[in-house]
Amino acid sequence: MARIDVIFEAICKGNRKVVAEQVQAVVDNDGDIVELLNDTMIPAMRDIGDKFSRNEVYVPEMLISARAMQAGLNIIEPLLAAKGHKARARVAIGTVKGDLHDIGKNLVAMMLKGAGFDVDDLGVDCPVEKYEEAVSKGASVLCLSALLTTTMPYMKQVVDHFKGREGVKILIGGAPVTKEYANEIGADGYGSDANDAVRALEQLLATA
Amino acid sequence: MPCARSSNCLLRHKKHMALIIHTDGDTRATTWRQGEKLTEAAAKAGIALNTRCAGNGVCGGCAVKLGPGRYRVNGEDLRIVEGCYKSALACQTEVVEDGAVVTFPRTSVLEREAVIDDAFSSPHLANRLPAQATTYAAKPGALGLAVDIGTTTVAAMLVDIHTGEALAKASMYNQQIRKADDVASRISYGRSEKEIEELQRLVTLETLDPLASRCAAAAQRDPEHITRVMVSGNTVMTHLFFGLSPASIGVLPFTPLMRTYPPVHASTLGLLASPEAMVEAVPSVAGYVGGDIVSDIYLTGLHEPCEATLMIDVGTNGEMVFRDGDRVVACATAAGPAFEGYGLAHGCRAATGAIERIAFDASLDMDIRVIGHTQPTGLCGSAIIDFIANGLRCGLINEMGRYNVDVLRASGRYVQDAALCGDSIACLIVPAEASGIQGPLCVTEQDIAQVLKAKAAIYAGLTTMLETQGLTPQDVKRVYLAGGFARHISLENAVALGLFPDIPLHRYEIVGNGSLAGAYLGLLDARVMPAFEAIIDLPEIIELNRVASFESHFIDALALPHFDVSLFPSVFRPSSQNERISS
């Protein structure tokens, strides 16, 4: 299936109503939803992400596009699961214990989904146990988010907990988090923003 | 500071020549540490440099002249010999060897004295004042000090507590800024007892005492006659003032160590006052709804039943309280410092040199007003609001906060300069030759994106809070705007931006510094403290991040003025759609 321009552009512009309608139309007409995802929806998110990296779009526009993308995914995700569609890899993402902020985390989750990953969103205020549970459900990478300098130190506890664990990588990010901090606590990767998180994750998996 | 990095270090150390800083009419020697930026070393010497881009090396606000010495600038070694100078940004410069000599131009140094608005007013103020002289039966001549402790600025007012007369007012930056900028980073800094003591010292001895002494001098009174001190501030500031650990406020469930603060003697804090003077604080509702908001509630009468009344205190955290009948709810939303001019390419605080108002139409002939009679050095929050609102009206800026490049180019205001605004494009506000910095002043698209996030946080916060009460912003009958920021903005432009609800403007009332007002009233009347203590149990706290619809409200509010145009019927909306994203 070639790219469906109307859906591609509706995602880029953040028009979630059009995205939902058009994706539903594909489903109703028995269109190939795997191709819809791979040829239209993922490229749209990638386009937004690349523009973000070039400072051609900013966070507000990214959030709006991500919400439109989610409107489309809400329709096809259950169908993909039923079809037994295999995503690139399973990753889990959550805001660490003590922190409630999730708008940035949700945007990263969306970008990861938009890059074709199977994302297990653990929500906010996640203790080590929650990440452990995600690993038992097959997550190979744990993405940790924090918005506050006061909650950021919990990342180290999670990293320490999984230290030396085969097949579990940890990627961290969030407003106060720096590359230096990631190195200091021994995290496997660091994403400076939502699009960089995709790059960091792909890099992690390539070297895994 | 002894050091092994330099061959003649001991000699230099003996001469106390660690790092020499020349400023306008002053020379200081200070210590430095390896890897420490010049901005941090300056802070230790008590000099706050203008780091409005948060030290990211973007704004050029901290430009300094490096004299003879060895440095690392942007990661590269630099040696400057005797008799030579080189310009550099302090936030990108490290000292490498003792004996460096640096000159800070006046334009790069933040004024120690903040020009903050400490005025307040409210139709309720008259009702709140005790009918006659104070009920404390203070002796004639007895003085009180009312203090608003803000994260950024501290305002003090010397009061004759026998007559209620305000004798003098003064304000300055909270000197804790030297250690950490915002509330969260203060909490992080105050990890140990030693650091909490240091933060306490900075706000009491380094901030409040100079203010008390300045007020006393202006009023020609003896500060020893101050017998009562009343402070009002957010919960973290109040904790640090009393030397209490704010750590628990930094993590869920954000519970403060204390909500009411036992009075202490001024002597225990070392304050400039009569040693027996009692120091009290307005109590706190919760970790992120503090005594400043309790003061606002008391001043605006929200502690008594009223109809659909909203109070908004816009700061780095936007706190909001809503009351309809008997139900009272409150929330705090992380607006960030954009409205305080922080984190913007050429943003600044509302001090001398700040552009405070901008007016223009489609011709982009800009009419600007600057605080003080000086060349402009930056734009403060009220000017940014004007700029975006006017830009939206005349088609310069679209609903996503992006420039119409054709309009920019046609007016000759198009700027694309990596050194000035990174990859972002910008609109020129003041050309280099007319500005008070060594370059032009502009507003970048990145700046506008920051403001969109800040205004969306406020609007989404109030929408979400009202939603929990089954109401919408349109249902609000009265809005009180507290905080110094609101006193200088154009309300019409703030509504056009989508910061505040689009309801008839006469429903708005600006009360100014309600926090200082609360401290003042608490000083005069013994019945006020019990009223404050009753207020803290009144509001139900809405944890916005726990409400599922908050994120969607936030995203809807990111557009100018809002994705749902029907919520902003009075705001002109350009018909041009956002074409740049899809191109």
Tens of pLDDT along B16-74? 358 888 876 677 888 888 888 898 888 777 777 877 666 767 667 788 889 999 999 98
**Contact list, B398 vs chain A (CB under 8 Å):** none
DSSP of B520-570 = HHHHH-TTHHHHHHHHTTSPEEP-GGGSTTHHHHHHHTTSSS-SSGGG-TT
- The rounded percent of chain B whose pLDDT value lies above 70 is 88
Report how far residue A20's alpha carbon sits from residue A10's, in angstroms, rounded to the nearest whole number. Answer: 10
Which residues, 6+ apart, have CB-to-CB distance to A95 below 8 Å?
A: A101, A102, A105, A123, A124, A125, A126, A145, A146, A147
Residue type, A8: F
**Residue B287 contacts residue B312 (beta carbons within 8 Å):** no
pLDDT digit string (tens) for B545-562? 999 999 999 999 999 999
Tell me if chain A has a CB within 8 Å of the CB of B194: no
User: For chain A, what are the domain ranges?
Assistant: 5-82, 90-206
Flag if A125 and B546 touch (Cβ within 8 Å): no
Tell me if chain A has a CB within 8 Å of the CB of B334: yes
**Residue A153 contacts residue B247 (beta carbons within 8 Å):** no
Q: A5-82 has which fold?
A: 1.10.1240
Q: Which residue of A16, A47, A58, A124 to mutate against B (max B Cβ within 10 Å)? A: A58
**Contact list, B400 vs chain A (CB under 8 Å):** 60-61, 64
Flag if A151 and B423 touch (Cβ within 8 Å): no
Q: A90-206 has which fold?
A: Rossmann fold (3.40.50)
- Place B576 in a pLDDT band, splitting at 50, 70 and 90: very low
pLDDT digit string (tens) for A134-155? 999 999 999 999 998 899 999 9
Tell me if chain B has a CB within 8 Å of the CB of A161: no
Tell me if chain B has a CB within 8 Å of the CB of A56: yes
Across the range B274-297, mean pLDDT stands at 96
Predicted complex ipTM: 0.89
Kindly report the nearest CA distance between residue B560 and chain A, in angstroms.
11
Tokens of B327: 């139900």
Instruction: Count CB neighbours of A208 within 10 A.
Output: 11
Nearest CA in chain B to A125: B252
Least confident stretch, B48-57, B153-162, B382-391: B48-57
CA distance from start to end of chain B: 58
Taking 90 as the threshold, does the pLDDT of residue A199 lie above it?
Answer: yes
pLDDT digit string (tens) for B525-542? 888 999 999 999 999 999
